[in-house]
Amino acid sequence: MWRYIAKRLLLAVVILFGVSALIYLLSMLMPTDYIDNQTAAAVHSGAMTQADVMRLKELYGLADKSFFGIVKSYFNWLTSTFRGDLGFSFLYGKPVTKVIGDYVWISFIIAFLAYLIQTIIAIPMGIKASVRQYGPYDYTVSIFAMIGTALPSFFLAALLMNIFSIKLGILPLQGLTTATIIFPPDAHLQIFLDKAKHLILPISVLVLLGIGGLMKFTRTNMLEVLNSDYIRTARAKGLSEHKVVYRHAFRNTLIPLVTTLSGMLPSLFGGAMITETVFSIPGIGYMALRATQQGDIPFIMGYNIFLAILTVVGMLISDLMYMVVDPRVKLN
């Protein structure tokens, strides 16, 4: 197993190198960069000249966008990355690692709670739908699953905001805290409850959008297993339906489920850009969207490499979990 892990880690290094080079190239070839965005108004009014803009680009390392200039700039970034320095964010005026560290945990809490809730709800729904195939329950949950999967996140967010915040007024509209209330420093419980109340709608949006896909995936895999010969044999031996479904059928659907659930690791830390933007939640997804719009290349690189590492780690975890859910699997 250790030999397998070593091979996967070496392959991960190659993958990350290729991903970082591609992302850096695409970032440098964007039509505008941070300096263009910040100086557009000044150039238009005549307060700055193109020469002034070019001097600023040289200061920020954005002047030379030829092929060799990009390659040289990329290897400079790669060298500093190996030293643990992801660069200095143009937009936020702080090291990229600090920006990620400050804002990633908000996104993680939201995504983890949504992930946990949708897993608890979707998997039993998928199992029940497969057992009652083509019954009223199966048709009902399948219809709602397709509706939830097809709804755009911004539309669902706006719909929930309109119902629960604007019309009913029972939940906050946006933000992470109530701006009109100043809590004393020692009011930890009140602050916690206020933030929890603000997170109900964002988490609800992510749960409703995620339940459908996971439920359908569970149902499809369960149906495939339930039609297997050994399931018919187990029923012929007189085993109860509960044992057949949960001890035999569901256990054999865990491998594809583990792959799916492990692949969700990047989304736990990557943030939900659209949802966080609609609800004005200062998570890492919202910060990454702003940085991308402003052409903040150091932050774009640091954020995407962070997600690439999480993706590789998630796939490695899924491979290792195969042995846990199915002892017959050997990693060589």
Phi, psi angle pair for 206, to nearest 5°: -65, -35
Q: Pull the structure tokens for residue 270.
A: 């990557």
Q: Is the pLDDT of residue 210 over 60?
A: yes
pLDDT of residue 10: 87
Q: How confident is the model at residue 319 (pLDDT cuts 50, 70, 90)?
A: confident
pLDDT of residue 161: 92
Q: What is the mean pLDDT of residues 238-251?
A: 82
Q: What percent of the chain has pLDDT over 90?
A: 11
pLDDT of residue 329: 59
Instruction: Give all domains of the chain, ordered by start, each with its CATH number.
Output: 2-82 (no CATH), 96-325 (1.10.3720.10)
pLDDT of residue 144: 85
Q: Whole-angstrom Cα distance, residue 38 to residue 33?
A: 9
178 vs 101, which has greater pLDDT? 101
The least confident of 3-12, 98-107, 250-259 is: 250-259
Q: Is the pLDDT of residue 321 over 80?
A: no
pLDDT of residue 86: 87
Neighbours of 41 (CB within 10 A): 10
The least confident of 73-87, 135-149, 228-242, 244-258 is: 244-258
The least confident of 103-112, 178-187, 305-314 is: 178-187
Q: What percent of the chain has pLDDT over 70?
A: 95
Q: Whole-angstrom Cα distance, residue 198 to residue 315?
A: 33
pLDDT in tens, 140-174: 988 888 888 888 888 999 999 999 999 998 988 88
pLDDT of residue 160: 92
Q: What is the mean pLDDT of residues 295-318?
A: 86
Q: Whole-angstrom Cα distance, residue 295 to residue 272?
A: 19
HSE-up of 186 (CA within 13 Å, CB side)? 0
pLDDT of residue 59: 80
Q: Whole-angstrom Cα distance, residue 301 to residue 290?
A: 14
pLDDT in tens, 124-143: 999 889 888 888 988 898 88
Q: Whole-angstrom Cα distance, residue 153 to residue 88?
A: 32
Place of tokens 């998928």: 126
Neighbours of 249 (CB within 10 A): 24
Q: Is the pLDDT of residue 250 over 70?
A: yes
Q: Is the pLDDT of residue 251 over 60?
A: yes
Q: What is the mean pLDDT of residues 22-39?
A: 84
